[in-house]
Structure 1
């Protein structure tokens, strides 16, 4: 290829990348070159070398945070997760009350599907922004959807970096959520380290009031094994404490060959503030999920229906049927079918 052609192609790529990064983002084809960004209507601000961000740092739809309101909602809507309830509530209370935190709040949620990881995330977001997950200051990524191509990791890295920089420059309280976080490419995790660490600002932007939530099934099997062992010892789940899980979960993320966090400095340097274990749910918790869903739908409580649906989900161990294999994940679908 001639030098002139190569220059022309490079210029075209640059223009395409800038167009993607500097335009309002609404919806994206997950297989397109811009698939790394999930838009909520925000405008992404792309910084050129040596430039600064001059947008307002306020978050117009931010609601006054009340630890009391968050606790009340967790009591009403989160079932069987005493550790997640306590850890998330304590972390948010301390972080939100601190007007000058040292670093962003970084939480890592672990457990099987249906145990409440995304559910508690929605509750947290709703207590910070009036529009909840629909807020322009909340950025939700499904890793396998928005960063699907390993061959495009360099582009994904540039896009994600600019997305975080631009949106935090607009709203310091921005929340970034990564579902299936263990599948993040190590290059993306290395890029994010600077945003998560203890820095006053980077290129004139402070990230210390932002919140990052990593959601993962990784560690779920270990949590379930410990829970089963606890049950066989005839101990109550409420006797489990954070120290039973913290080292186990951080080690699993750090050492598992399938984890994008393997040997990551984010873990080695204790940049993740809290590892939140989500325990397998029992029959009573699934039943409560059904009753809560009926209430959400504006329907009267129906104990018989709730019992029927809770009985119909799978449990393990096979003979004792103590812990739900899918948690509350299938409750809504089963309820729709029966209604």
Structure 2
């Protein structure tokens, strides 16, 4: 089997979360195919290996998950499936596919990484072909915190730039669905390259090693409502307007004076829904 790799970088205000997923494609084995088949039949019945059974690459599932569970992110939806599928099926891949996901917390970046894992690998997040690096776990040294902060600073600027740019569109009456990747990609790239810290003057950017910079737009009321309804649905509860309103009371909005975006997207809504769902008719 020939290795292919996919790197996903999730970037927001509070955490840098790297997901490295190794993608595989079959190559012709000629006469040796029969012997290889016997080897895999025995080995793969006992453990995960480079085989269609364990790496199905179900892009229909990925598309469905994005359509059903990713709210307000039409730009990300339009890029992700096609970019990964093209890389997966490519016969002349020269480098890993690297996706850089930018946006505020709670806008769906971690969900996207999870959906990709669940769609490409039978074992999903438990696959040993998936490696995750999380800031608080893999960069725990207290004396290195200033360095970590400097490295994050440039990426934080990128997330704020997305919000500022979208707010200008909103003020001018531009429909969310009419905004395109081209409206953000150069802004994100230049921010990552020029800001101190992060990928400041980085060869990764100079050499075009990042294939796609994908903006995740801030969440508006309609998107937060969908997140709340889904959290109730997971708990087998059909949410009432009163229950939805009770959860919305915990959401903080900005920037002032418009206050149209959730400061934390859909983060932490699950805990609030759990309490209100358990209370039942009290709400």
TM-score by structure 2 length? 0.72
Secondary structure in 2 matching 1:80: coil
Alpha-carbon displacement from aligned partner over 1:177-208 (angstroms, at most 9, x marks no partner): xxx99847xxxxxxxxxxxxxxxxxxxxxxxx
Unaligned runs of 5+ in 2: 1-18, 20-42, 278-283
2:132 maps to 1:140: yes
Distance in 1 of aligned mates of 2:157 and 2:60: 31
1:241 corresponds, among 180, 186, 191, to 180
Task: State the number of aligned residues.
Answer: 226
Which one of the candidate residues 193, 196, 216 is aligned to 1:257?
A: 196
Partner of 1:176: none
- Secondary structure of the residue aligned to 1:257 is coil
Partner of 1:64: 56
Please list, as runs of the form range in 1=range in 2, the aligned pairs for 1:214-229 lying within 5 A after superposition: 217-229=156-168
Q: Is the Cα contact below 8 Å between 1:81 and 1:279 reproduced in 2?
A: yes
Q: Is contact 1:286-1:328 (8 Å) kept?
A: yes
Pairing partner for 2:208 from 255, 270, 291: 270
- Give the secondary-structure state (helix, strand or coil) at the position aligned to 2:101: strand
Instruction: Give the Cα separation in 2 of the matches to 1:62 and 1:290.
Output: 33
The separation in 2 between residues aligned to 1:217 and 1:63, in whole angstroms, is 34
Question: Normalised by the size of structure 1, how large is the TM-score?
Answer: 0.61
- Counterparts in 2 of 1:1-339, with a 5 A limit? 58-59=49-50, 62-149=54-141, 183=151, 217-259=156-198, 261-339=199-277
Distance in 1, Cα, partners of 2:80 & 2:156: 18
Alpha-carbon distance in 2 for matches of 1:72, 1:182: 38
Q: Is the contact made by 2:150 and 2:196 (CA closer than 8 Å) also made in structure 1?
A: no
Contact 1:218-1:252 within 8 A present in 2 as well:
yes
Distance 2:161 2:250 in 1: 25
In structure 2, C-alpha distance between the alignment counterparts of 1:235 and 1:101, rounded to whole Å = 38
Unaligned stretches of 5+ in structure 1? 1-37, 39-55, 153-179, 185-215
